[in-house]
Structure 1
Amino acid sequence: MKNTIAVLALSSLLAVSACKKTENNNTVTGVTENPSTERFTVDSVKINDSIKLNDSLTVKYSSKMLVFPTLKDKKLLDSIYFTGKGISDFSKNGLQNYLQKSKNEYFNQIRKDSREWGSDLTFAQEWYSDTGMNVKSNTNDYLHIEYVWGSYEGGAHDNYGFSERVFDLKNNKKVELKDITSMPVTNLEALLMKNINKINSGTTDNKGQVNNSEMLLVDKIPATENFYFDEKNLYFHYSPYEIAAFAAGDITIPVSWADLKGTLNSEFAKRMKIN
């Protein structure tokens, strides 16, 4: 079973690494070929900062956003930056300015709240907010981006979560489940329940066998839009508390293409070379 060490390890990974500093990351993190003559490129912007509100409380803020210089379709970009409110400038400078604004809003809110409860803290604490975007793959012009967040604002432990999105760069849209399979939801939910122990999330029994099902909080596992895929499987990713206890961590459940045989969208199957 996952324990406090695992949670702290993830928290350390998510937590910010620099104080009082704002920086740009100019490294190209992924390059592949677009259907057009223009090369598909990925850049990123990042901000790190911290404030000390009083002797007992330090607050850190970190955020990373990817930049896609060659993507021009506004509807596609709106979908990619769905976590940002009111983003209209998708350039590197525009996204850097957005992060700076978000950081200031976060710190201002914490300052305001701390006036009410700051004096109640009985020992030194370090709170943080960390968000990020990562390109996981770009195969057959299906771009998979993982969005991750982590935070601690008092309490027993950190919180964290994931959102998976796949974008069809040929058709400038977010891929939906119906674009992949026509399998009825009830059948898909049955497969998710059947396959829940196929990938180890860190929850095991006393024999070392994967036992995610023992930590379930739901009677049926929903087939959500939080999915991605590769050449072998369709994967559904669930954040802590979404379907299981926090101790189970995040859970990923695979559904093989063989499981979905006869229900796959023919165009999707052809593009992914699924027999």
Structure 2
Amino acid sequence: MKKLAILMLALSFAACQSEKKASDQEDSTGLSNLEMNSTSNLAFKYDSLKIFSKPNPAAKTKSTDTTYVRIVYPSFPNQKLNQLLEQKTIAAIQNPDDKKVETYQQVADAFIKDYENLRDTEGTVAAWFLDAETKVLTDQPDYIGLEYSLVNYAGGAHPNSNMIYWNLNPKTLQEITLESLINEGSMPQLVTIAEKIFRKNEKLSPTASLKDTYFFENDKFNLNRNFTITKEGLKFLYNPYEIKAYAYGSTELIIPFSDLKTIARPNTLLSPTK
């Protein structure tokens, strides 16, 4: 009888452990769309908006190829941060002459309306699309690194694409600029370091001309301000058409932290002790 009691107790304990493990797995699955960094205490989830145009009443076929807008964005507990990201996203999507709007929904509605107005005026028009997504690359107590990407088509020979890095201080919601990370007056040195890496990546000699293949102003290498901070170093991105023809796509350039030791400001994201 004593052995039976011990056996029943052991089985009961095993069942509890199994139930706890299953419960833990369910919780983990339930939080699959929630990202959390334990070092920053920043929690966020990805929200999205997707709408489609109405079917073309004049179409002779039953094609389901309709214009659509898809916007994916992170949502933080800090509403001011969310509002800032929404403003930056809208500014990145809109053209300077577009009617100003304030929400993701208004952006999507305006895009769909423009397409439907053109379609109703000119008849059959190839479907448009607008696909925008903002990803959180890094979330630390003093740094949020975001990657905004846009691929869209509103007529023409081909779709357009663009990627922008946003660097923010989550406490102040201020932009982290390149100048705030390096010593005053050291920009020329940074450009020199970057050009050496660029020429190596492009298989160019130190004296090779940039005139025929690249679009740098005055045929002189220069850095843009489209950067993010990765585990490898300071990463820059040139979008299509920015320094090369569209067919070449985007161009990445990473400057290792080891190359930044002499110009990084102390106690910043680029300093060796950070």
Q: Which moved more, 1:107-116 or 1:233-242?
A: 107-116
Contact 1:32–1:41 (CA<8 Å) still a contact in 2?
A: yes
Larger relative strand fraction: 1
* Correspondence 1:166-177 to 2 at 5 A: 166-177=167-178
> How many angstroms does 1:222 deviate by?
3.4
* Correspondence 1:1-275 to 2 at 5 A: 27-33=32-38, 39-51=41-53, 52-53=55-56, 54-55=58-59, 58-69=66-77, 71=78, 74=80, 76-81=81-86, 82-84=88-90, 98-119=103-124, 125-139=126-140, 141-182=142-183, 184-196=186-198, 215-218=213-216, 219-268=219-268, 273=273
Contact 1:198–1:253 (CA<8 Å) still a contact in 2?
A: no
Looking at structure 1, the residues matched to 203 and 152 of structure 2 have their Cα atoms a distance apart, in angstroms, of: 26
> How many angstroms does 1:42 deviate by?
0.9
Looking at structure 1, the residues matched to 52 and 44 of structure 2 have their Cα atoms a distance apart, in angstroms, of: 27
> How many angstroms does 1:135 deviate by?
1.0
> How many angstroms does 1:197 deviate by?
5.3
- Scaled by the length of structure 2, the TM-score of the pair is 0.67
Partner SS, residue 145 of structure 2: strand
> How many angstroms does 1:43 deviate by?
1.0
Looking at structure 1, the residues matched to 84 and 187 of structure 2 have their Cα atoms a distance apart, in angstroms, of: 24
User: Which blocks of at least 5 consecutive residues in structure 2 are unaligned?
Assistant: 1-30, 92-101, 205-209
Looking at structure 1, the residues matched to 135 and 164 of structure 2 have their Cα atoms a distance apart, in angstroms, of: 11
Q: Which moved more, 1:161-170 or 1:142-151?
A: 161-170
Contact 1:196–1:213 (CA<8 Å) still a contact in 2?
A: no
Partner SS, residue 128 of structure 2: strand
The one-letter code sitting in structure 2 at the alignment partner of 1:263 is I
Contact 1:141–1:170 (CA<8 Å) still a contact in 2?
A: yes
CA gap of 1:29–1:49, structure 2 versus 1, over 3 A, is same
- Give the total of aligned pairs: 220
> How many angstroms does 1:213 deviate by?
10
CA RMSD of aligned residues (A): 3.3
Q: Deviations over 1:140-198 (max 9, x none)?
A: 64211100000112322211010001222344422111121135433333333322256
CA gap of 1:239–1:271, structure 2 versus 1, over 3 A, is same
CA gap of 1:268–1:196, structure 2 versus 1, over 3 A, is same
User: Which blocks of at least 5 consecutive residues in structure 1 are unaligned?
Assistant: 1-25, 86-96, 206-211
Q: Which moved more, 1:177-186 or 1:246-255?
A: 177-186
Q: Which moved more, 1:258-267 or 1:247-256?
A: 258-267
